[in-house]
Each structure stands twice: as C-alpha cells, then as structure tokens.
C-alpha cells in the first residue's frame, strides 16, 4: 500500500468515466438528443474507447442515455413523459416494498427508520437541501432494503442517481420539504401500526405528489437533460 492516497480511488476506470459523464450531463455539457461518440469521449476523459463503452452501458441501464447497437449513444431527452414513466414505475415498486416492509421489518428497523427521519427534519430545519436530498434517499432506500426484494432494490437503485439529479434540478423548496416530512411521519405511523394498506396508499400518494411537484417546476416546452445546475434551492 502506498502511503495514503487511496488504493484505487473509486474502483475501475469505467466507473470513473461513468461518473464523469454523469457530472457533465448534469452540468449541461451535453445537450439532450446529442450523440455521444466513443472516440470523442475517450480523448475527453483520457481513456480508451472500450472503457468508454463500458461506462456507456452503465449509463444506459440507469436511464441517462439511449444505446443502440451499431448506432452508438444519444443523450436521453428528459421529457415530461419520461419523468412520469419513471415515477410510475417507482410507485409500483415502492408500494410493493412498503407492504413488504410492514411484514418484514423488526421494531428495531422502524426505530432506525425514524432516526433517519429525525435527521432529515433537522436538515430541513436548517435549510440544508443537499443533506435533505441525501437523507430522503436514505429513508426510501432503507425501506426498500428491509423489504427484502433484491430485484426491486436493484432496479430502484439503478435509477436513483438520475432521479435525485432531476430532483436537484427543480430544487427542494420549503413547502416541498414540509410535505415530505408529514408524509414520512404518516408512513412511519402506518408501519408502527403494521397497516399495510395505509402504508401502501401513503407511499403511492407521496410519490404521485412528488412527481407533480417536479413537473410543476419543470420547464414546459423544451426537452431537458438531468441537470443544468440549479442555483437557488430552498424557497423556490
């Protein structure tokens, strides 16, 4: 081991390239619909085209780009329809995990969940939107993992980065944070009561409203890519 700068620093090269491309997508460096050519990307990130290809396959699975055989990659335009579709899928799956959580979670799990929620509320109190975003992710991920369906967890995790990037794009206003807080509280309560139906309907409603909130703050006509930096966050 060589002193301290970390052994591999984030694993294989194609991970780093995938991260770099994701960041550039969020920064708006690539336009929706734009073709991503392997050789260009290879020079850009100082790597071989084959490594880029692996990164692109990753991003394809995560919904960022569209990959066609013998055609290459295109930046996926994030139309309102795409956002609705993704949220609808997520709703279907998370309603399912919410039900399983009711069955499978130990009292300890529920306690742990409400600790995440406490930290979330604290972050919201201080207007720390980035932390809010992280903890909100943790909250849902914790439920999904306790639910115990690895297939579903894998799928939702795959889309996680894209979804939180969309969320970051429209911002996380005070009003939204308040709504999230009360939804989460109701959900925890339903878990405590071991009421699967209530947990399911709260989850369903929660995600539906979240999606509507995003669409309301989303630009209407033009197609978008995941980010294009957002300056103001709270109080949007």
Partner DNA sequence: AAGTGGTCTAGACCACCTT
Partner DNA sequence: AGGTGGTCTAGACCACTTA
Chosen residue from 50, 125, 126, 182 binding its own copies by CB under 8 A:
50
Taking CA atoms, 164 is separated from 17, 42, 112, 133, 139, in Å, by 19, 27, 22, 7, 13
Task: Give the number of residues in contact with DNA, rule: CB under 7 A.
Answer: 24
Using an 8 Å Cβ cutoff, are 126 and 117 in contact? Answer: no
From CA 105, how far away is CA 207, in angstroms rounded?
21
Does residue 72 bind DNA (CB under 7 A)?
yes
Nearer to DNA, 1 or 222 (CB): 1
Residue 72: φ, ψ to 5°: 90, -165
**Per-residue x/- marks for DNA, 27-66, CB under 7 A?**
--------xxxxx------xxxxxx-xx------------
**Per-residue x/- marks for its own copies, 122-151, CB under 8 A?**
---------------------------xxx
Does residue 170 bind DNA (CB under 7 A)?
no
Which tokens sit at 60?
């394809």
The distance of closest approach from Cβ of residue 188 to DNA in the complex, given in angstroms and rounded to an integer, is 38
Residues numbered 74 to 93 that lie near DNA (CB under 7 A) are none
From its own copies, DNA, none, which one binds at residue 130 (CB under 5 to 8 Å depending on kind)?
A: none
The distance of closest approach from Cβ of residue 16 to DNA in the complex, given in angstroms and rounded to an integer, is 7
Chosen residue from 3, 4, 5, 8 binding DNA by CB under 7 A:
8
Q: Is 108 exposed, middle or buried (0-12, 13-18, 19+ CB in 10 A)?
A: exposed
The distance of closest approach from Cβ of residue 178 to DNA in the complex, given in angstroms and rounded to an integer, is 43
Does residue 164 bind its own copies (CB under 8 A)?
no
Does residue 73 bind DNA (CB under 7 A)?
yes
Using an 8 Å Cβ cutoff, are 110 and 193 in contact? Answer: no
* E strand or H helix that includes residue 75: strand 72-75
Taking CA atoms, 77 is separated from 27, 47, 64, 178, in Å, by 14, 26, 9, 30
């Amino acid at each position: 081991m060589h002193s301290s700068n970390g052994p591999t620093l984030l694993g294989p090269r194609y991970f780093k390239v995938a991260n770099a491309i994701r960041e550039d997508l969020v920064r708006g460096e690539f336009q929706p619909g734009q073709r991503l050519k392997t050789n260009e990307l290879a020079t850009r990130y100082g790597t071989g085209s084959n490594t880029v290809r692996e990164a692109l396959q990753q991003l394809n699975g995560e919904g960022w780009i569209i990959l066609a055989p013998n055609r290459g990659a295109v930046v996926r335009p994030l139309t309102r329809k795409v956002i609705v579709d993704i949220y609808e899928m997520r709703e279907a799956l998370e309603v399912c995990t919410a039900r399983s959580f009711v069955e499978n979670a130990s009292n300890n799990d529920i306690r742990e969940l409400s600790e995440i929620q406490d930290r979330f509320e604290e972050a919201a109190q201080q207007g720390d939107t980035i932390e809010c975003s992280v903890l909100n992710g943790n909250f849902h991920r914790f439920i999904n993992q306790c639910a115990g369906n690895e297939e579903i967890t894998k799928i939702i995790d795959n889309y996680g980065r894209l979804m939180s990037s969309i969320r970051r794009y429209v911002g996380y206003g005070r009003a939204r944070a308040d709504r999230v807080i009360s939804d989460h509280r109701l959900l925890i309560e339903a878990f405590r009561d071991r009421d699967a139906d209530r947990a399911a309907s709260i989850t369903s409603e929660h995600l539906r409203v979240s999606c509507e909130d995003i669409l309301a703050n989303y630009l209407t006509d033009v197609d978008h890519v995941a980010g294009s930096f957002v300056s103001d966050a709270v109080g949007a």
